[in-house]
């Protein structure tokens, strides 16, 4: 048996060719001249040579598919089945491209099939041909389609009309649902349909523990089917007698709602499930013109656009959240009865779909998310770059090819570190500065701008921490002044100094090393936490002003890190801490991904607890406060003896890993 396929190298096509070859047939595949290498690779996959899979050079949008007269003559009368699969299956594709491929391409395919005198023309349409029909759409319905405003819906409908009205040879029409990956391997070739929501699920997984319930949408029912079901059904139906002129819905007869689909894939991706799903129909009492007016408000439009861009979701996808159409598939069920060809339940194969996406289709895989790709040749400034987190970060940036600027108070140590970084091959510029002195900050800013012209990344890392109970601080108001002077005023002075050039260039990133104490309201750290909280608040306000000028802020609520800053508190030698290198990895993530905030899950949970049950959070922190004493230094003693740590203290610190006590 001889077959001809358009779209034979596409996603559905490559699986269908495999099925047709298994029947012992010879397959002719329409390819462009420049796509022959792709077909050659697929032949290896199919285990077939050129005698079994033959390339036919042509073009979908040319008359008779652009097939030359000699080839057309050889095909005439020798094609039993002509499968037309080639089409644009992309909701976000250009309208003109969709019209050319879907409508004109189908007309050319019909002409070519007639010229070949093919035995049967098999048109792969889509459930999109029904538009946004409200209710149940049967296989014998076509003209009843409605709300065909979107180019994809319209062109799929019009291309099917071409077959129904123009095809003079026997034909059969197949309307698959939203085709996703293979139910056994997860194989898929592009992000489409439910895949658009995978990035959102992934981001939620990174932000929240799996056990935390979330709120989402209910939505309409989306009819999704795996590619292997579609291909198996088409292969079987195409070879049945007496089915010419019929249309077949290759769909799930019991489709899931949007909320159910998101929950199934959330479980597959180990993300939190939506415990409560909101049905948008509950807002139906609001007049449509009011809803539309709200959507068109500038802040709403900007926020919606920003969120969709961040998630990689085309705006047109939102119109399908409340998909109104159900599909009757009684004809398909009739011809498939007893064959074992049926749609598997999504839960049974969602894990392989997710796994294949995360390993092969996740958009982040195709972006340069390396530190070198982000900072090479960029001017990166780190304050407090001679020890702890600052030094570990400086080493990573020097190795990544950044133009590295480090500042610190002690000149001798600064020069020593600069020499070490240069020995690693870094492009290092070291400038002495006491960031607690405003005049020094101004000189630092001027020197950096005079020598480098601008700053791409500013890491406000230099800081002062004081661990002392308020009861021991009544006569130490200077503790609050010192922390504010360095942690807040010094950082703000630098931001205000470097910001004009950033705003002029529409490019800049400020990273503030804050503290988990800001989220937990850590006792004994009131001076330190207040200064960091002030910087956080300033940065949020500045970010709101500069959001549309591509100058961004990231706050890192850093957990407890073993640095010289915590060395005076000997009890910290016995509790879990991050290493400076682990902390520097958090700074690297901030530079590469530019999130608004980086925090541990425990830190985020503490902030949520403070918002929802502040008294409970207060009791937990007070328990820790009473469990861990002030250090001898905080109490005015010079004793260097390491305090004894009880097993109860160790267990509590392990549970509350990273929190300051």
CA distance 200 to 194: 11
Which of 89, 323, 528, 660 is flagged as catalytic?
528
What is the distance, to the nearest Å, from the Cα of residue 287 to the centroid of all Cα atoms in its chain?
Answer: 34
Residue 613, strand partner residues: none
DSSP H or E stretch at residue 173: strand 171-176
What distance in Å separates the CA atoms of residue 176 and residue 123, rounded to the nearest whole number? Answer: 11
The values of phi and psi at residue 155, to 5°, are -70, -30
| Distance (Å, whole) CA 24 – CA 470 | 85
For the purposes of burial, counting CB atoms within 10 Å of the CB of 169, is it exposed (0-12), middle (13-18) or buried (19 or more)? middle
3-class DSSP state of 226: strand
Q: How open is the CA angle 149-150-154, to the nearest 5 degrees?
A: 80
Length in residues, the chain: 661
504-509 long-range contacts (CB < 8 A, ≥24 apart) are 505/454, 506/549, 506/550, 506/551, 507/456, 507/550, 507/551, 508/454, 508/455, 508/456, 508/457, 508/458, 508/550, 508/551, 508/552, 509/456, 509/457, 509/458, 509/551, 509/552, 509/553, 509/554, 509/591, 509/594
Q: Which residue has the tokens 């089409």?
A: 87
Q: d(Cα 225, Cα 238) in Å, to the nearest integer?
A: 19
The sign of the torsion formed by the CA atoms of 191, 193, 196, 200 equals negative
Q: Can you tell me the distance from the alpha carbon of 490 to that of 497, in angstroms, rounded to the nearest whole number?
A: 11
256 is catalytic: no
Please give the positions annotated as active site.
Answer: 528
């Amino acid at each position: 048996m001889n077959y001809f396929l358009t779209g034979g190298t596409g996603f559905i096509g490559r699986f269908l060719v495999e099925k047709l070859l298994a029947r012992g047939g010879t397959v002719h595949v329409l390819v462009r001249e420049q796509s022959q290498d792709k077909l050659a690779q697929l032949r290896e996959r199919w285990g077939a040579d050129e005698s079994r899979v033959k390339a036919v050079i042509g073009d979908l949008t040319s008359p008779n598919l652009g097939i030359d007269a000699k080839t057309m003559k050889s095909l005439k009368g020798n094609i039993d089945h002509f499968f037309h699969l080639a089409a644009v299956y992309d909701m976000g594709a250009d309208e003109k491209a969709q019209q050319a491929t879907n409508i004109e391409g189908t007309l050319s395919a019909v002409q070519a099939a007639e010229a070949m005198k093919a035995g049967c023309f098999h048109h792969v349409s889509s459930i999109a041909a029904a538009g946004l029909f409200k209710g149940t759409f049967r296989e014998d319905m076509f003209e009843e389609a409605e709300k065909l405003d979107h180019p994809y819906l319209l062109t799929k409908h019009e291309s099917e009309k071409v077959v129904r009205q123009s095809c003079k040879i026997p034909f059969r029409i197949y309307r698959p649902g939203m085709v996703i990956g293979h139910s056994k391997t997860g194989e898929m070739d592009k992000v489409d349909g439910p895949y658009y929501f995978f990035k959102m699920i992934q981001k939620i997984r990174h932000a929240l523990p799996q056990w935390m319930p979330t709120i989402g949408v209910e939505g309409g029912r989306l009819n999704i089917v795996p590619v292997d079901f579609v291909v198996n059904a088409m292969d079987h139906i195409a070879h049945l007698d007496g089915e010419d002129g019929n249309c077949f819905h290759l769909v799930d007869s019991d489709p899931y709602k949007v909320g159910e689909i998101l929950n199934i894939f959330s479980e597959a991706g180990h993300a939190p499930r939506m415990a409560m799903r909101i049905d948008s129909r509950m807002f139906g009492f609001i007049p449509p013109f009011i809803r539309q007016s709200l959507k068109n408000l500038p802040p709403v439009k900007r926020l919606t656009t920003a969120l969709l861009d961040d998630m990689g979701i085309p705006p047109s996808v939102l119109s399908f959240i409340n998909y109104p159409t159900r599909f009757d598939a009684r004809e398909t069920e009739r011809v498939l009865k007893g064959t074992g060809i049926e749609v598997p339940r999504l839960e049974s194969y969602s894990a392989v779909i997710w796994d294949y996406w995360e390993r092969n289709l996740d958009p982040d895989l195709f972006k340069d998310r390396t530190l070198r790709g982000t900072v090479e040749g960029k001017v990166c400034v780190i304050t407090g770059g001679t020890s702890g987190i600052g030094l570990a970060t400086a080493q990573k940036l020097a190795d990544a090819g950044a133009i590295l600027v480090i500042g610190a108070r002690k000149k001798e140590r600064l020069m020593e570190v600069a020499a070490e970084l240069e020995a690693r091959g870094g492009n290092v510029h070291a400038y002495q500065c006491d960031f607690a002195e405003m005049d020094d900050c101004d000189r630092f800013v001027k020197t950096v701008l005079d020598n480098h012209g601008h700053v791409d990344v500013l890491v406000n890392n230099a800081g002062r921490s004081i661990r002392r109970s308020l009861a021991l601080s009544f006569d130490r108001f200077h503790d609050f002044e010192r922390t504010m002077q360095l942690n807040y005023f010094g950082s703000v002075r630098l931001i205000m100094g470097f910001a004009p050039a950033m705003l002029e260039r529409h490019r800049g990133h400020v990273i503030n090393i804050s503290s988990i104490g800001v989220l937990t309201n850590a006792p004994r750290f009131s001076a330190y936490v207040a200064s960091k909280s002030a910087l956080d608040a300033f940065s949020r306000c500045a970010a709101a002003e500069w959001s549309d000028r591509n100058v961004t802020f990231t706050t890192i609520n850093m957990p407890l890190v073993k640095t010289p800053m915590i060395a005076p508190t000997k009890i910290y030698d016995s509790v879990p801490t991050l290493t400076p290198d682990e902390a520097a990895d958090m700074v690297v993530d901030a530079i590469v991904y530019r999130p608004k905030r980086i925090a541990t899950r425990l830190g985020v949970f503490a902030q949520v607890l403070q918002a929802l049950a502040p008294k409970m959070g207060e009791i937990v922190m007070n328990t820790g406060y009473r469990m861990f004493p002030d250090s001898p230094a905080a109490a005015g003693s010079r004793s260097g003896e390491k305090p004894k740590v009880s097993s109860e203290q160790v267990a509590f610190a392990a549970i509350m890993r990273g929190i300051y006590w």
